[in-house]
Amino acid sequence: MRRLLNVWVLCVGGSVLSAPANGADWYVSAAAGAVSRAGMDQNGSNRESTCYPTDACFHEVPRPAIAGYRWTYDIDADAGPALRLGIGRRLGRFRIETSVGWQRNALEQELIDIAYLDGTPRVGADSTVTVDARALIDDAVTRTVSVDLFRDLPPIGGSVTPYIGIGVGSAYITVKGLGFVAEYRDTSQTPPAYDPPLSHYAAAQEEDHSDSVVTWRVHAGADYALGERTLLGARLTWSVIGSTSDTGRYDRHPIHATDPAFRNRNGFEEARAWALTVSLTRWFGGGP
């Protein structure tokens, strides 16, 4: 978060230095609304050699070499809250605005596939061993720092000023509570002895996934003059947030017997979002 604030300060400073000194108008704004996100499918992989009791390879002698696993989840995101604080400057019919934003979306996972690292499908074993597994995910929190250029259009009715805009910035994304739990058991009446025991193959992970990526967006909105210097506005924003990638450490894993620091990698594909916000803007200087 400190890096985002530093970028914001630099953006504001850049606007100040590049603006003309002869009476340009400044404003501050605060906005709140809702954001709907699409995309964000999850992909991950690791490089482990474990053959699990529910796979056909578990019963082969000798067991085949395994280079690792990869997995894919479909991610659904609920609509969530969005907040924004900005400072801007008017240059004729154009405005330059720098802002910080915050968004949150609750997430749900649906497993699409788990395969070997080279893409070969896993083949299930004909046995009485079963796995109790569930995926874990909470929500995605996105913090942004951006610079936007707006073009004010001709007023409507004297009090409403529509506008369009484009922007680019940095997004720091945190997917909270990402992970899974998997435990194996034999469902037969008289289960055989396993060496190592089935509990050896249990695995678990739950931690936050974070990355900083580029975001760009386009806007359309309108401001209504409540007074000489105060505006009430509405803005519709379509944004694209870049793909993320991060490594994570398992809480429990069969490989821990030989590699306690064993890690995997997860990534989320490029996401697209619609945000609708209502803003309050206060002008300083010559007024809107």
pLDDT at position 24 over 80: no
| Beta bridge partners of residue 263, listed in sequence order | 249
Sign of CA dihedral 252, 257, 261, 266: negative
Sign of CA dihedral 69, 140, 36, 95: negative
Tens digit of each residue's pLDDT (9 = 90 or more) over 183-208: 999 999 999 999 999 999 999 999 99
The CA R_g of the chain, rounded to the nearest whole Å, is 26
Domain ranges of the chain: 2-284
Three-state secondary structure call for residue 14: helix
Q: DSSP of 233-255, one letter per residue? A: EEEEEEEEE--EEEEEE-SB-GG
- Note the CATH number of domain 2-284: 2.40.160.20
Question: Which of 250, 285, 281, 286 has the alpha carbon at shortest distance from 265?
Answer: 250
Please state whether beta strands 160-186 and 203-225 pair in parallel, antiparallel, or not at all (unpaired).
Answer: antiparallel
> Residue 285: pLDDT band by 50, 70, 90 thresholds?
confident
> Residue 220: pLDDT band by 50, 70, 90 thresholds?
very high
Tens digit of each residue's pLDDT (9 = 90 or more) over 143-180: 999 999 999 999 998 899 999 999 999 999 999 999 99
pLDDT at position 258 is 92
Q: What is the mean pLDDT of residues 134-145?
A: 97
Cβ proximity of 284 and 27 under 8 Å: yes
Q: Please, how many CA atoms are within 13 Å of residue 102, restricted to the half-sphere of its CB?
A: 8
Q: What is the rounded CA–CA span in Å between residue 258 and residue 119? A: 26
Rounded to the nearest integer, the mean pLDDT of the chain is 90
> Residue 286: pLDDT band by 50, 70, 90 thresholds?
low
pLDDT at position 8 is 42
Cβ proximity of 41 and 75 under 8 Å: yes
